[in-house]
Amino acid sequence: MTSTQPTCVLCGMDDSQAPLVRFQYQGQTYWICTKDFPTLIHRPQMLAGKLPGAERITPGEHDH
């Protein structure tokens, strides 16, 4: 995903609206805002249609 201005892959906010985190996935660079970052970790299927194959990403597991 190449863009002149980085934007959140989920909500579309840019870095003037929220902090963005850059990540690599399947050889491509994407950005996600700090508000949506938990979605990437815990509910990646919500990114279906935004990231190729997101519905197959296994959510992070951790002890509480």
DSSP string, 18-57: S-EEEEEETTEEEEEETTTHHHHHH-GGGGBTTBTTGGGP
Q: Which pLDDT tens digit goes with each residue over 7-22?
A: 999 999 999 999 999 9
In this prediction, residues 44-63 reach a mean pLDDT of 89
- Alpha-carbon distances, residue 56 vs 6, 21, 41 (angstroms): 25, 21, 13
- pLDDT for 29 equals 97
Query: Can you give the residue ranges of every domain in the chain?
Result: 1-51
> Residue 20's closest CA among 1, 37, 4?
37
Q: What global pTM score does this model have?
A: 0.82
Q: Which pLDDT tens digit goes with each residue over 24-51?
A: 999 999 999 999 999 999 999 999 999 9
